[in-house]
A = this chain, B = another copy of it.
Amino acid sequence: MSSRLLVTYQLRCTPAEAPARARALAIEQSVEMPPEAIADEALRARVLGRVEAIEPDPQDPALQRAILSLSADTVGDDPVQLLNMLFGNCALQPDVTLVDAQLPESLVEALPGPRFGPAGWRAAIGPSAEGRPLSCTALKPQGLPPDELAQLAYAFARAGIDVIKDDHGIADQAAAPFEKRVSAVQRAVERANREKAAGGDPALAGHRSLYAPHVSGGPERLERQLAMMRDEGVGAVLACPMLIGAGTFTGLLRGRAGVPVMAHPAFAGGRIAPALLLGRLFRLFGADATIFPNWGGRFAFSRGECLAIADAAREPLGRHLPALPVPAGGMRVERCREMLDAFGPDTMLLIGGDLLAAGPAMPARAAAFASALRAARDSGGARAKPASGDPGHPAAA
């Protein structure tokens, strides 16, 4: 079993139909031809997907679950081919949902995982980030020119926000071309960081806000963007793995950005369980933090799905560092306490529109957000409540 993936699919069919449907799926996701036409029996035994178990779906009697095993030989070591074998052709079969995948140790080891993890984020932000949840906000709306985005970033950084990311809709448009925008915003954040170091508020002494520009496009454009970021000394980066491609995310971002990487879930809306895709797989592909739409916002993920994403991002997984879960998607400062109680301190909270909607009071609201997260360390309250609900959970401790 150790060299096979154990993949759980949900099938929309009756219990009587399930064995044939599961077998057809095992063929589709492996040899993709009639098995009886494969003359080499050893090859067929090795490469053909196997139906390991079929059971009724615990939630819905109209659904069945099939556990298939797929040979790790069919994947090799590549994120793109992993997604292909897990959900390539059956993505086009609407009766199939990908629920879970347990990867063999060899494959877990072959994938890069996070380079920085929670400790790397905190080290980049400075000593004031130790032992507490992190704050993140977004520069928007797209359409603002570089100097106005820079003004926003400056205000956020002065307020003590840890990570200031581009809205994922901001790419390389005429209103704020990548080079001009990144240069202007990075300089504004550096100025705010110098001012915090020099002055006034002891709570923010030594606090370094990080800017995470959104990189997007094909490989040539991405390489130009990464080179430019390095030249400017940018401290983090944001990308959408499902838009740029998992192989590009791993190869260029995890491999060569040299700074902590945030993954954004845009375009990740197929029939794949969020905990698997946004939690385990994005982490294995190299995300140091993974953004997901938290419950109670503009999106439909349930509380259970969100906690499962956080667990998958932080649970023990071979040699790999955890990724920070980043609940987002219409969150408000008033929900910080509740979110920290649910997710624990190894979390980055992302609040964007709610800060900007404050208008002239935005700096005060951003400061309230940042200070709520500092208070979470000081109180120690959030620390006692890991996401899994298991106080002995090693990754959340």
What is the predominant secondary structure among interface residues of chain A facing chain B? loop
A271 adjacent to chain B (CB < 8 Å) = yes
Closest CB in chain B relative to A122 CB, distance in Å: 28
Question: Once the chains are docked, how many angstroms separate the CA of A269 from the CA of B90?
Answer: 8
Chain B residues near A83 (CB-CB < 8 A): 243, 267
A172 adjacent to chain B (CB < 8 Å) = yes
A54-100 interface (Cβ within 8 A of B): 71, 73-76, 78-81, 83-85, 87-95
The stretch that binds B, out of A124-132, A217-225, A227-235, A381-389, is A217-225
Residue of B nearest to A96 (CB): B269
Question: Once the chains are docked, how many angstroms separate the CA of A143 from the CA of B70?
Answer: 12
A30 adjacent to chain B (CB < 8 Å) = yes
A270 adjacent to chain B (CB < 8 Å) = yes
Q: Contact at A167–B252, with CB atoms within 8 Å? A: no
Closest CB in chain B relative to A44 CB, distance in Å: 8
Q: A229-255 CB contact bits vs B (8 Å, 1 = yes)?
A: 000000000001011111110111001
A326 adjacent to chain B (CB < 8 Å) = no
Please, could you name 29 A-B residue pairs with CB atoms under 8 Å apart, sorted by A? A31-B140, A31-B141, A31-B169, A32-B169, A32-B352, A33-B140, A33-B141, A33-B353, A36-B357, A38-B141, A43-B143, A73-B173, A74-B142, A74-B169, A80-B217, A80-B218, A80-B243, A81-B171, A84-B243, A85-B169, A88-B169, A88-B243, A91-B269, A92-B265, A218-B245, A218-B247, A219-B219, A248-B248, A269-B270
